[in-house]
Structure 1
């Protein structure tokens, strides 16, 4: 099912972990509605970044899938409100995050996080606006801490 011109539902629900563990990763009707909004936000991100392809590396995660990948219990992924992305045609995830920060409101990004686990990096974008503005733009160095703004880690 195509959500928007460049994003399909299957891109958001694809999960190697779910497949390996035999877990169902079918979104709830509410999550599917949220995924449409998330895909629309990613269309705006794609346009902002010069039309370069946006690759969704993690989208919707049902509760069991989220738990299996070690996601936070309050993760926006579970509601269909978040995606982890890379845009190789534009640049490294750090460059993507820095380029998006000035345009959060226009793009409909409620939270932007540059994340790194040491081996790989990605950009987390969510349509849910954070209750604490300080958490809107952050850097997460998995296992090492969370920092305000977009930082080299």
Structure 2
């Protein structure tokens, strides 16, 4: 297989374990060359070889792996990868985000990093956590416990448990007197 760049081959950037054909047509092949050029910059930044998990995906491969129909992988712009010699995926994503490498999207996916060279060039940095995209590279630490809530102008500075009654409280504009809620108290219709 030919090289798309000095360190990335066509076989490497079309790898799939699905057993399905995964050959990029004309425009996608040209986009994949751009992705390979971007990955050369990433490799230079990290200073170590990169292991590609996924690059170009044909529509059939993309469907088989559960990818989005609008995925940049289908267009040949995206690469999922790791670089264990550099560090964990969070460290990799942080290093790229702090660099001058031009990218459209950089996603810390947990066990790999996704990067796209789509010409939109948004430099969008995200973390995938719990099936949702969060802005930025989110820390390993748990989110801090919420230490208060705000209802119709009143703030209570202790941890409380809120349930779906909060919506009714906000819509009806009920006030919960501070004295009626204690730490660990569950807000119910009886509280208001």
Structure 2 residues not aligned, in runs of 5+:
141-192
Q: Which residue of 2 aligns with 1:112?
A: 106
Residue among 69, 72, 84 paired with 1:88? 84
Query: SS of 2:85's equivalent?
Result: coil
Q: Which residue of 2 aligns with 1:45?
A: 42
- Are 2:50 and 1:54 aligned? yes
Q: How many residues align?
A: 139
Bigger fraction of residues in helix: 1
TM-score by length of 2: 0.69
**Residues 111 and 129, structure 1, Cα contact 8 Å, conserved in 2:** no
Distance in structure 1 (CA, Å) of the matches to 2:127 and 2:93: 10
Distance in structure 2 (CA, Å) of the matches to 1:128 and 1:34: 8
Distance in structure 1 (CA, Å) of the matches to 2:28 and 2:139: 33
Distance in structure 2 (CA, Å) of the matches to 1:48 and 1:110: 17
Structure 1 residues not aligned, in runs of 5+:
none
Find runs of 4+ consecutive structure 1 residues off by over 4 angstroms: none
- Are 2:89 and 1:78 aligned? no
**Residues 3 and 9, structure 1, Cα contact 8 Å, conserved in 2:** yes
Query: SS of 2:127's equivalent?
Result: strand
Cα deviation 1:27-86 (Å, max 9, x = unaligned)? 01111101111000000111111x200111111100010001000110000010000010
Kindly name which structure, 1 or 2, has the bigger radius of gyration based on alpha carbons. 2
Tell me: higher relative CO, structure 1 or 2? Use CA pairs within 8 A at least 6 residues apart. Answer: 1
Distance in structure 1 (CA, Å) of the matches to 2:37 and 2:51: 14
Q: Which residue of 2 aligns with 1:144?
A: 131
**Residues 60 and 78, structure 1, Cα contact 8 Å, conserved in 2:** yes
1:118-133 pair list within 5 angstroms: 121-130=111-120, 133=122
**Residues 139 and 148, structure 1, Cα contact 8 Å, conserved in 2:** yes
TM-score by length of 1: 0.85
